[in-house]
Amino acid sequence: MADFDNLREEFDNFMKTQEEACDTGCDLEEDGEEYPDYVVELVKKMMTPQLCGIYFSKRDIQFIGKTYGELIGLKPRDRMLKDLLTSFLEPEDMQKMFQIIKEVVDIKIAIYDELSDNFRHSEPHLNRYRQKALQFKNRLDRIHQDYEALAKAADL
């Protein structure tokens, strides 16, 4: 019985650390490299399912890289994402990469839809993540438009 006395306290501490961990305010420049703003933003969002609605596993990141034609080795997820998001130079390549990412997001959204159909009580929670995923896809489009505009301005 003594083992269960502190169970609630341990659970509360666990939940508190989980919530803090979800807000990955980690410094992306810890390895001494500077990254473009879009890389910093996307890594932060893609590392945190509460921000983009999707959990990108190492396997997902490797799949995106392989589909794009880039071999991404197994490292911490944030390093894999940085390598992936800095592997292109042209706006067309960025568009191709973002299209692959959006396809992965669509697969995850389809899973959310299937779970919503099968488990009606979870539907409000899953819809919240679905909306975040759709907003993330829209953000990818806006980042590409900004990148393309900067690339055109640099060509002038």
pLDDT per residue as tens digits for the range 20-55: 555 545 544 456 678 889 999 999 999 999 999 999
- 62, 81 Cβ separation under 8 angstroms: no
Q: How far is CA 24 from CA 20, 68, 109, 147, in A?
A: 8, 26, 23, 25
pTM of the model as a whole: 0.77
Chain-centroid distance of CA 17 in Å reads 20
Alpha helices in the chain (DSSP H): 2-5, 7-22, 37-47, 49-52, 58-68, 77-85, 91-118, 123-155
Structural tokens at position 156: 């002038």
Per-residue model confidence (pLDDT) at position 153: 85
Dmax over CA atoms of the chain, in Å, equals 74
Tens-binned pLDDT, residue by residue, of the chain (156 aa) = 555 666 667 766 666 665 555 554 554 445 667 888 999 999 999 999 999 999 999 999 999 999 999 999 899 999 999 999 998 888 899 999 999 999 999 999 999 999 999 999 999 999 999 999 999 999 999 999 998 888 888 775
